[in-house]
Structure 1
Amino acid sequence: MAIEFIYLNLFYWLKKTVTSKNRIQLEDNFTTEDNYNENEDKNDVGDNTDAEKARDDDDVVDDHQEEAEYLPEGDGPTATEEQHHKGLVTKDANEKNKPSTRHFIHGYHLIQGQMNHGMEDHIFAQHRNLDGYDLGLYAIFDGHSGHEVAKYLQSHLFENILSEPEFWENPVHAVKKACKATDDEILENIADSRGGSTAVAAILINGVKLLVANIGDSRAISCKNGRAKPLTVDHEPEKEKDLIESRGGFVSKKPGNVPRVDGQLEMTRAFGDGKLKEHITAEPDVTIRKIDEDTEFIILASDGLWKVMTNQEACDCIRDEDDAQKASKKLVKEAKSQGSYDDISCIVIIF
């Protein structure tokens, strides 16, 4: 009866939340158009630090949904993401009005690379309160063949996710449904046959629950007791060759180049890319994790960083930093020094 009472309360709250009058509006979107050059100050196209102070509270939110399993380091989560993760937030409806049980801060930084195109990375990094729940909303959108899709995602993806009526009770299904709806919007109104974007998005709930959704080859990792732990798996053509071929496509590799879907796209999942949509998908992998006391920080970054740094190298690079903004700048600077020519963007959340 107690569980039914909780779900009933959540139902009425959700019904109220998603009405047009109360439709979620996300603010403080971050974008950039600055050019890359050797002057680091001019390349600092995105900075932000947001600190949230938590009170001591013994009633830590219980992690009562099934955890995603992880393969050896670098291989990422398995198909347990398909489980219905009930009770994402709390077992007790009264918990929603309590402050975050862990202190956390975030910072972000991005620079334009030396490729023959304008800046295509976009970042979303925001802390907000939603009906008593303390949310950190973080995402990296890495565009290709233009920045329009990434910019659209920056303005609409979280709005679409949090407006899904099933988000609190069945978050995995809700996130996938929202991504499908967002991709449909993009294909109809935004992208031409070639424009697209990857996305890695994280929702931190009350400082102790983390939902991560990934489409493409941007990546999220956590650092626990000094060790890097993957939160996502890169969607690369060789890894998902069976998926591409089952949809009628093919994977090819020219000498000296990377494998590509239909000889064109370096990843198997992306928003937009209408010309290839029959062979690729915008369905995300979704994982839900508990942020325990051993978790030191989380990194989200575009492939401009991961092409030149391993997960562990990224963790080691900033482990001594206690300022999230300085940590994000340090990561970008290190990736640049390691020879990355791509756009580089990252978000660091420190606990």
Structure 2
Amino acid sequence: MDHTISSSSSLSNCRQTANFSSKSDVVINASRRRTELRRMKIMSNGDNEYLPKRQRFVNHENEFPYHSSVIGRRREMEDAVSVELGFVNDTNGNSKFDFYGVYDGHGGSRVAYTCRERLHKLLALQMNEIEMEDINWEDLMVKSFSKMDEEINETDFIGSMGSTAVVAVVGDHEIVVANCGDSRAVLSRGGVSVPLSIDHKPDRPDELERIEHSGGRVVNWNGNRVLGVLATSRSIGDRQLKPYVIAKPEVTVNKRTDKDEFLILASDGLWDVMPNDMACHIVRKCLDGRIFKRSEEMNKRRMTNAAVVLSELAMARGSKDNISVIVVNLQN
């Protein structure tokens, strides 16, 4: 997300603010809808030659499975993605934990990239120091995010840079999500989308109260922003906005069930233009073979394909941000 304020508002933003709709707006929306349907048709026919045309949008620094990370219509790629399978094993070697993270940078990419390299290592270090049966997930996540924030703010390059972070640790028996900012994690369970995080927006009542209690203000300047600058109320970094913007994540722990299908983690480049239910519906169609034709090769890449389709549709629906998506299979 372009979390920091720009110098001027576009005409489209002004129209949205004024709730104005013109004939040209209707034509643009209809054109976007036709483009979206055309892309869905191409994909459902199994014509995968379309996808390489978008390779200029792909962030090739993260060639991990299960994800798509594209620059979209932005000039700079500020998102980062982390997939670490088996990043921690229990002492008996009977179970393992996988780590997934989406980091949405603002003011530059360096904080997001540093989180990609370091946050899972900080968490693994703490997990290896305790007995698994005594694990307190909220405490571990809060300490890991705090340590990451300290490391970032001790560096010279930080300036006004920061990054949101949504991470998931998937074990044999639980799914743990920690969120700091306005990226999001959504679980599909028994055909129903279940949000596992709540966006940290400055106008969220509890966040607004916390900011004002700390002596800060939320200013509506091209959207609600902390001190009129930042459009998220929590992030890693952003040293100049502390203590109003904090790095403490909200943590949810959910026991796994046989009804769990998949997990989606994504930056707000997806969620700004696509509701949770639609995203889960699209992924389900990909996994059922209703978008890509069934084949051995497509079956191996179906999670990656689902993430790619979500990114493509987000761009077709008008997303102007970087778009990073991870789709995690919970059926295997």
Mark yes or no: TM-score above 0.5: yes
For 1:246, the aligned partner's letter is H
- Pairing of 1:154-193 with structure 2 (within 5 A): 154-164=116-126, 165-166=129-130, 168=132, 169-189=135-155, 191-193=157-159
SS of equivalent to 1:319: helix
Q: 2 CA distance for matches of 1:134 and 1:190?
A: 36
Identity of aligned residues (%): 34
Q: For residue 274 of structure 2, what is the aligned residue in structure 1?
A: 309
What letter is aligned with 1:335? A
Q: Distance in 2 between matches of 1:142 and 1:183?
A: 15
**C-alpha deviation, 1:47, in angstroms:** 4.7
Question: Structure 1: which amino acid aligns with 2:111?
Answer: V
Residue 135 of structure 1: CA displacement?
1.7
Q: Which residue of 2 aligns with 1:242?
A: 209
Q: Which has the higher helix share?
A: 2
Counterpart-to-counterpart distance in 2, 1:47 and 1:317: 23
Aligned equivalent of 2:57, options 40, 43, 50: 43
RMSD over aligned Cα, in angstroms?
1.8
Gaps of 5+ in 2: 1-51, 288-301
Question: Which residue pairs with 1:68 in the alignment?
Answer: none
Mapped to 2, the partners of 1:119 and 1:283 lie a distance apart of 25
User: Which string of whole-angstrom CA distances, capped at 9 and with x for unpartnered residues, describes residues 269-309 of structure 1?
Assistant: 00000110121100000111112111111000000000000
Give the secondary-structure state (helix, strand or coil) at the position aligned to 1:163. helix
Alignment of 1:182-261 (within 5 A): 182-189=148-155, 191-206=157-172, 208-239=173-204, 240-254=207-221, 257-261=222-226
Q: Distance in 2 between matches of 1:296 and 1:188?
A: 41
Please say if 1:272 is aligned against 2:234.
no
SS at match of 1:324: helix
Q: What is the TM-score of this pair, normalised by structure 2?
A: 0.73
Aligned in 2, Cα 1:190/1:213: closer, same or farther, shift over 3 Å?
Answer: farther
**Stretches of 4+ aligned residues off by more than 4 angstroms:** none
Give the drift of 1:183: 0.4
**Aligned partners of 1:149 and 1:197 also within 8 Å:** yes
Deviation sequence 1:193-221 (CA, Å, 0-9, x none): 31000000001112x31110000000000
| Secondary structure of 1:183 counterpart | helix
The change in CA–CA distance for 1:191 and 1:268 in structure 2 (over 3 A counts) is farther
Q: Which of 72, 78, 83 is residue 120 of structure 1 equivalent to? A: 78
Unaligned runs of 5+ in 1: 1-37, 50-106
Taking the aligned partners of 1:331 and 1:188, their CA distance within structure 2 comes to: 36
Aligned residues: 254
Contact 1:161 1:167 in 2 (8 A): no
After TM superposition, give the deviation of residue 130 of structure 1 in Å. 2.2
SS in 2 for 1:309: coil
Specify which of 310, 315, 318 is matched with residue 339 of structure 1: 318
Higher relative contact order (CA 8 A, sep 6+): 2
Partner of 2:68: 109
8 Å contact kept, 2:225–2:231: yes
Paired residues for 1:71-86 under 5 Å: none
Aligned mates of 1:216, 1:191 — CA distance in 2: 21
CA contact (8 A) 1:247 1:279 kept: yes
